[in-house]
Amino acid sequence: MTKTTARSRTARRELDDMPSQLAALETMNVPALAEKYRELYGEPTRSRNRAYLKKRLAWRIEANFQGDLSQGAIARIQQLGDQLPERWQMRLGQPANAADAPSDDALPSPTVLAATEPRDPRVPPPGTVISRVFDGKTHEVTVCVEGFEYAGRKYKTLSAIATQIAGTRWNGYLFFGLKKRSDGASEESAA
């Protein structure tokens, strides 16, 4: 008997014993769950969350025992194409980004995808210039598609710019007047 035959018999026996495999997950610690994840998925896990790992492993054990996704589900996943999360695309063997993908005029560019993402309603449209006078100096910030530009530098948040200007931590929306304080005390004291 070869090693491969012995291994396949062992694997079949393990699959026949699905309830005990699921019960064994309850007693495993995180390193043991991570090793089981590597064994079942063929890749290491980045998670150290015990509940999450147990759930993912239970699903894989049941999928191995009862069968994986249906052909209809796999066809739908492939139909969704670029709308899929990157990790799903990698598992299906599809390129994760447009640079790796075969040239196709129907694929949306990354800038189109970024523009369709929901934006914070407090942020004005890209191209808008927000200004604030602080310590007698006018500071102007340009709203970009991704982030903000101030004094020739790109920033991810308005708070980072406000902190740069004021020298202390500030909520960027409050600093630039895009969000008003909601408490009545500040409004009464201003009157």
List pLDDT tens digits, range 115-141: 445 567 788 888 899 999 999 999 999
Whats the size of the chain, residue-wise? 191
Spatial CB neighbours of 148, under 8 Å, sequence gap ≥ 6: 141, 142, 154, 155, 156, 157, 158, 161
Task: Confirm whether 91 is domain-assigned.
Answer: no
Q: What's the CA gap between 78 and 137, in Å, rounded?
A: 55
Residues 55 and 113 occupy one common structural domain: no
Task: Confirm whether 94 is domain-assigned.
Answer: no
- How high is the pLDDT of residue 4? 54
Query: Which residues constitute the domain of residue 36?
Result: 3-66
Residues 114 and 172 occupy one common structural domain: yes
pLDDT bucket at 189, cuts 50 / 70 / 90: very low
Higher pLDDT, 78 or 170: 170
174 neighbors 183 (Cβ within 8 angstroms) = no
Tokens of 95: 């390129």
Residues 61 and 114 occupy one common structural domain: no
pLDDT bucket at 112, cuts 50 / 70 / 90: very low
Q: What's the CA gap between 57 and 110, in Å, rounded?
A: 34
For residue 31, pLDDT beyond 90: yes
Residues 56 and 120 occupy one common structural domain: no
Task: Confirm whether 96 is domain-assigned.
Answer: no
Task: Confirm whether 117 is domain-assigned.
Answer: yes
Residues 113 and 168 occupy one common structural domain: yes
Q: What's the CA gap between 176 and 166, in Å, rounded?
A: 12
Task: Confirm whether 139 is domain-assigned.
Answer: yes
Task: Confirm whether 87 is domain-assigned.
Answer: no
Residues 117 and 171 occupy one common structural domain: yes
Q: What total of structural domains would you count in the chain?
A: 2
Residues 58 and 113 occupy one common structural domain: no
Task: Confirm whether 166 is domain-assigned.
Answer: yes
128 neighbors 115 (Cβ within 8 angstroms) = no
List pLDDT tens digits, range 56-89: 999 888 888 887 777 888 788 777 766 766 666 6
- Give the pairing type, strands 153-155 and 148-150: antiparallel
Average pLDDT, the chain: 76
* CA separation, residue 23 to residues 28, 58, 120 (Å): 9, 9, 45
Residues 61 and 112 occupy one common structural domain: no
Spatial CB neighbours of 157, under 8 Å, sequence gap ≥ 6: 147, 148, 172
Task: Confirm whether 15 is domain-assigned.
Answer: yes
Residues 165 and 114 occupy one common structural domain: yes
